[in-house]
Amino acid sequence: MTRYSKRMVVVHWLTLALLIAAWYLGDSLADATDESKATLAGYIVHLSVGGAVLLLTLAQLVFRCKDGRPPLAEDKPIYQAVAKYVHYFLYTVLFLLPVTGITIVLNSKVGAALLAGDANMLPKEHGFKDVFSHEIHEQLVNVLIVLAVVHILGAIKHQFITKDGLMERMMLRRKD
């Protein structure tokens, strides 16, 4: 096997797109909460996009087991180890981020507000002060950014320095 299966490729890029959307929506939601202007729709959209990231990540793990994956690219053992563990940590964070999101909903007034359909019950400024999972959710976003930067730098190195065509393995359109 020299490249990822087509469904792995589709899920990889779809996850990236939804992740950017979830990040933007989460940030906007936090700003709206600080101004006491958050809406039920704002929560429902963030929760749905974030939930979709969780489903896609689980699908990616299933496809990875069923379809297999190409061996690590030829490289110095240290770079191979970094690539391997960054992939593991990315999966871990992609799983934990939505799970902590669900925990925020369950441990704050968000759940009750959604069930009652009443935006006035939503947390206002500092409303998540005592919700520990909110802090974890926020910090996990920072961890994800660091991991994604290392991952993208690796992809750039292979594309422009090593020039070994590694990106082809994560592409639908293939030269041969």
Among residues 1, 116, 149, 167, which is the contact residue for ligand HEM, using CB under 6 A? 167
- Binding flags for ligand HEM, 96-125, as an x/- string (CB under 6 A): -xx--xx-xx----x---------------
Cβ neighbourhood burial of 151 (10 Å; 0-12, 13-18, 19+): middle
- Binding flags for ligand HEM, 76-95, as an x/- string (CB under 6 A): -------x---x--xx--x-
Q: Which is nearer to ligand HEM, 72 or 116 (CB)?
A: 72
Instruction: Judge contact between 147 and 89, C-beta under 8 A.
Output: yes
Structure letter (DSSP) for residue 70: P
Locate the DSSP E strands across 34-103.
none
Map 32-43 to HEC letters: HHHCCCCCHHHH
Instruction: Judge contact between 15 and 57, C-beta under 8 A.
Output: yes
* Rounded CA separation 33/21 (Å): 18
- Cβ 164 to ligand HEM, closest distance in Å? 10
- Cβ 169 to ligand HEM, closest distance in Å? 4
Contacting positions for ligand HEM (CB under 6 A): 12, 16, 19, 22-23, 26-27, 29-30, 33, 38, 46-47, 50-51, 53-54, 64, 69-70, 72-73, 83, 87, 90-91, 94, 97-98, 101-102, 104-105, 110, 128, 134, 137-138, 141, 148, 151-152, 155, 166-167, 169-170
